[in-house]
């Protein structure tokens, strides 16, 4: 139901605007909202954290709120915290309630409503949480929840039951028990550190965790889920990048949802990580009326690739409480992927992923290009709708005889 939303005109569809034609939104916003901030203050991530907007009174000083936004701040105050870094606030268009940065950071009244099918724990994490810090849902990998704090509290947050309050890091005992759990489970080869946002930890605290994980022989890789390159890019310092490189392989999985978020500052943060040998991938969330058009997702992918960030997942939004107004039908995601296929490089087309409600795990979807299957051939349609036949081979034995030798050598 869109009764609270003013009408808007559809955006023009066309080629992406070049970087040279589009001035940085953050620079103009900084001059308008924080004219007294020095360069040293603005580029200090701790100054940004101290000056984050966390109340209705603060927010109204900077953004002319709609009645629905004002009601949203008041009615969600007991449900989920608000917090917007000055940098991310500087990207908000004060004139348009459909600004994608605004929609992700300022609540509306609809967020206070819990709809049928919405869940406090939409991914069923708590039932697979043997330790406070650990979610062990998949056989070979675990989620390590390092803290409940973020630089910006996204209105589409799937883990709002954790990030809604407390502003706490793990105690040393909780961290120790999480590390020990991983050490005692040799099947775990992949650890995803999340929270909250792990990059809000100090360099020393983060290194303590990385070092402990790196010392476990069966942990082959570490991933870090973070929105800091998007919402607090000044946190990505050379020192942080060097720390991550020291414990390679470490992969950073970030979360850009709209091309507007790819500012010069965000680009510099991502490229600093890549330059230090830290691969960066992006997981976007599909949100209704924010990025729910193929043109927007394609522009996002192209801009990510220009800064050497791989578009990895396009997530169907999880059924977290209060997020129904932002969710899209499953068919919309499939439509977007189909509209992108064949019209841009495959590297720019993310996997469409659905995390099944209640803990079913992640599945990926794609448009069905198979028209008919037969013993002699399979008939496909291409991205233009044209039919093509792929001849099936006469021999169908797909066993791999050398594999037994290879496995014996690898023991």
Binding residues for [4Fe-4S] cluster: 150, 154, 157
Secondary structure of 162-221 as H, E, C letters = HHCCCCCECCHHHHHHHHHHHHCCCCCCEEEEECCCHHHCCHHHHHHHHHHHHCCCCCCE
Question: Where does residue 271 rank: exposed (0-12), middle (13-18), buried (19+ CB within 10 A)?
Answer: middle
Question: Where does residue 67 rank: exposed (0-12), middle (13-18), buried (19+ CB within 10 A)?
Answer: exposed
Q: Which helix (H) or strand (E) holds 286?
A: strand 280-286
* Residues of each annotated binding site: 150, 154, 157
How far is the CA of 225 from the CAs of 169, 207, 232, in angstroms? Answer: 16, 15, 14
CB 204 within 8 A of CB 212: no
Residue written as token pair 């978020």: 261
Q: Please give the Cα distance from 77 to 81 (Å, whole number).
A: 6
Residue written as token pair 């390159």: 229
CA-nearest of 201, 191, 349, 361 to 284 is: 349
């Amino acid at each position: 139901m869109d009764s609270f939303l003013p009408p808007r005109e559809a955006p023009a569809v066309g080629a992406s605007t070049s970087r040279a034609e589009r001035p940085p939104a953050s620079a103009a916003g900084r001059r308008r909202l924080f004219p007294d901030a020095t360069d040293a203050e603005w580029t200090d991530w701790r100054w940004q954290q101290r000056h984050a907007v966390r109340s209705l009174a603060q927010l109204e000083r900077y953004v002319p709120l709609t009645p629905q936004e004002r009601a949203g701040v008041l009615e969600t105050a007991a449900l989920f915290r608000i917090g917007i870094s000055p940098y991310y606030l500087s990207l908000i268009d004060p004139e348009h309630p459909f600004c994608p940065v605004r929609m992700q950071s300022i609540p509306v009244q609809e967020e206070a409503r819990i709809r049928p099918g919405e869940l406090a724990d939409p991914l069923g994490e708590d039932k697979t949480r043997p330790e406070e810090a650990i979610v062990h849902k998949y056989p070979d990998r675990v989620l390590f929840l390092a803290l409940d704090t973020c630089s910006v509290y996204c209105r589409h947050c799937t883990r709002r039951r954790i990030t809604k309050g407390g502003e706490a890091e793990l105690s040393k005992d909780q961290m120790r028990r999480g590390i020990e759990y991983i050490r005692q489970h040799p099947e775990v080869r992949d650890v995803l550190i999340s929270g909250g946002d792990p990059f809000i930890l100090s360099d020393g605290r983060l290194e303590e965790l990385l070092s402990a994980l790196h010392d476990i022989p069966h942990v082959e890789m570490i991933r870090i889920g973070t929105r800091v390159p998007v919402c607090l890019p000044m946190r990505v310092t050379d020192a942080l990048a060097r720390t991550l490189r020291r414990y390679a392989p470490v992969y950073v999985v970030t979360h850009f949802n709209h091309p507007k978020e790819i500012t010069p500052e965000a680009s510099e943060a991502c490229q600093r990580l890549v330059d230090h040998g830290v691969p960066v991938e992006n997981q976007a969330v599909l949100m209704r009326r924010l990025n729910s058009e193929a043109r927007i997702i394609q522009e996002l992918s192209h801009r990510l690739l220009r800064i050497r960030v791989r578009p990895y997942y396009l997530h169907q939004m999880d059924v977290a409480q209060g997020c129904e107004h932002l969710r899209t039908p499953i068919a919309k995601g499939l439509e977007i992927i189909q509209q992108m296929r064949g019209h841009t490089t495959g590297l720019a087309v993310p996997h469409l992923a659905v995390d099944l409600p209640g803990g079913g795990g992640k599945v990926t979807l794609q448009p069905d290009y198979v028209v008919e299957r037969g013993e002699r051939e399979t008939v496909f349609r291409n991205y233009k709708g044209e039919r093509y036949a792929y001849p099936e081979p006469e021999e169908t034995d797909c066993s791999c005889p050398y594999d037994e030798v290879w496995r014996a050598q690898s023991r």
